[in-house]
Every structure is written in structure tokens, then in C-alpha cells.
């Protein structure tokens, strides 16, 4: 249902974009984000004990935007892209080990062996749907300053769960193909453009404001449940485009 609403918003937003008649551009945006997802009490299935799980991730993506000038100094954007939604820094605190920690978490691996397997990092390959708006300030010598925000939804189509040594000597990384709505985010961004005729290029600073992502039954987490975070990350990238 959330995926349907996101698509509906994008469709309605695109009508607004295409109803304008001012200058437009096509932009390619490559970026990375470091996220601190926070710490959670984590009980694996019906186990009689719980651990404290801390997750961080270094993710990257690329998006293609159609950008349309609006009234005044505003511009709106709509786009599609790819994002590697990563959880690659895991820390589990287990009180049973006298306060010890380990950089992995258990998962349900498709094997008949009665052995608990762990992952020390995993990621979701996602398709992204993006909408946003910026205010543009013209500077000297062909430079521009941009400040704005965006909404981004994620639809995952495949996932990879890495198995650490020595378990990976017998059990390879688990690669799964599952398609579903995974989450969404709201971001702020600041950037600069340098114009070269009809072309432009420049850096971007990305500030994650809100993120929500779906929990996964592979960790025996509740189905259709999600987690979220506020203002715990940073990112940036490079944008390049052409106006026509």
C-alpha cells in the first residue's frame, strides 16, 4: 500500500512538472550515504535471551532526474535510480558473554544442518523513485547555489547476506531474490553548480532527515514491521546535467 501511495504521488507530481513550459534539464546524480541506524533490543525468534544490536551502513546510489524550472528561483525534479541499501557495520552486545560484543547477527540460512549461521554484513539492491525541489541562487562567474529537499522510496528486488569466516568455507553468501517495497526517506541537500554553456556539474551535500525501512523475516523479525531513524547520517555526491 505504501508503494502504491509513493507511485501515486510521483505520478501527480510529474503532471505538475510537465505542465510547466520553462527551461528543463536532465541530470545524473551519483552519491553515497553513511547511516547510523541506531541500537535495538534484538531477540532472535523465541529465544529466552535478548541482545543489543547496533547497525550502521555505507550505501551508494545513482539517480537520473528530469528537472523543470518553476516560478521564481524554484525548480522541481522527478527521477528513477538504483541504491545499494547497506547494513555493513554490525555490533551485537550479548550479556551472557560478560559484556562481550561480536560484529555479526544470526539469520535463517536455508540449510538442513542444526547450526546457527551469522551474517557480518548485508545489503538490499533497490530501485528508487525520487521527487524533490530546490531553490537556485545565481552567483558570479557561472556558479549557482542550490538548497532544497527530496523524498525517496525504495523497492528491493534482490538481497545479499554475507557469511563470515570460518562458516563461509562451507556455506556461501546467501543471495535471495525477493521483490517488495522496502522503505522511504526524506533528505535535505545543498549544492553548487558550475555552468559550461548548456552543461553543468557540481558537488552536493546530503543530510538524511528521516528514514524508515522494513524488518526482515530472515532475522526472525516481525513481518510487515519497520524501524525508523531521525537525523543520524550524512552523505554527498556529484551531479552533472545538460539543459535544453
Q: pLDDT digit string (tens) for 103-141?
A: 999 999 988 787 889 999 999 999 999 999 999 999 999
Q: How far apart are CA 163 and CA 9, in angstroms?
A: 39
Q: How far apart are CA 86 and CA 67, in angstroms?
A: 28
Q: What are the b/e assignments for 71-87, b being 16+ CB within 10 Å?
A: eeeebbbbbebebbbbb
Q: How far apart are CA 153 and CA 130, in angstroms?
A: 7
Model pLDDT, residue 8: 42
User: pLDDT tens across 161-185, in order?
Assistant: 999 999 999 999 999 999 999 999 9
30-to-7, 27, 195, 205 alpha-carbon distances in Å: 22, 10, 18, 12
Q: How far apart are CA 241 and CA 177, in angstroms?
A: 33
For 46, residues 6+ apart whose C-beta sits below 8 A from its C-beta are none
Mean pLDDT of successive 10-residue stretches along the chain, which has 244 residues: 45 43 84 96 65 95 97 93 97 77 92 88 98 96 96 98 94 97 98 96 98 96 93 97 94
Amino acid at each position: 500500500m505504501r508503494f502504491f501511495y509513493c507511485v501515486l504521488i510521483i505520478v501527480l507530481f510529474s503532471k505538475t512538472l510537465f505542465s510547466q513550459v520553462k527551461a528543463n534539464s536532465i541530470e545524473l546524480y551519483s552519491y553515497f550515504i553513511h547511516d547510523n541506524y541506531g541500537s535495538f533490543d534484538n531477540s532472535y525468534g523465541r529465544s529466552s535471551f535478548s541482545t543489543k544490536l547496533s547497525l550502521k551502513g555505507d550505501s551508494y546510489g545513482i539517480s537520473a532526474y528530469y528537472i523543470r524550472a518553476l516560478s521564481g528561483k524554484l525548480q522541481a525534479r522527478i527521477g528513477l535510480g538504483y541504491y545499494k541499501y547497506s547494513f555493513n557495520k554490525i555490533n551485537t552486545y550479548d550479556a551472557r558473554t560478560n559484556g562481550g560484543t561480536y560484529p555479526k547477527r544470526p539469520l535463517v540460512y536455508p540449510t538442513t544442518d542444526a547450526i546457527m549461521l551469522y551474517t557480518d554484513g548485508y545489503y538490499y539492491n533497490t530501485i528508487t523513485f525520487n521527487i524533490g525541489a530546490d531553490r537556485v541562487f545565481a552567483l558570479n562567474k557561472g556558479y549557482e547555489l542550490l538548497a532544497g529537499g527530496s523524498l525517496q522510496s525504495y523497492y528491493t528486488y534482490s538481497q545479499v547476506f554475507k557469511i563470515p569466516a570460518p562458516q563461509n568455507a562451507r556455506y556461501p553468501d546467501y543471495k535471495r531474490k525477493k521483490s517488495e517495497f522496502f522503505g522511504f526517506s526524506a533528505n535535505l541537500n545543498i549544492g553548487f553548480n558550475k555552468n559550461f554553456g548548456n552543461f553543468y556539474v557540481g558537488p552536493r551535500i546530503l543530510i538524511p532527515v528521516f528514514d524508515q525501512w522494513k524488518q526482515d523475516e530472515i532475522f526472525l523479525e516481525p513481518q510487515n514491521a519497520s524501524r525508523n531513524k531521525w537525523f543520524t547520517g550524512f552523505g554527498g555526491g556529484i551531479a552533472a546535467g545538460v539543459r535544453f
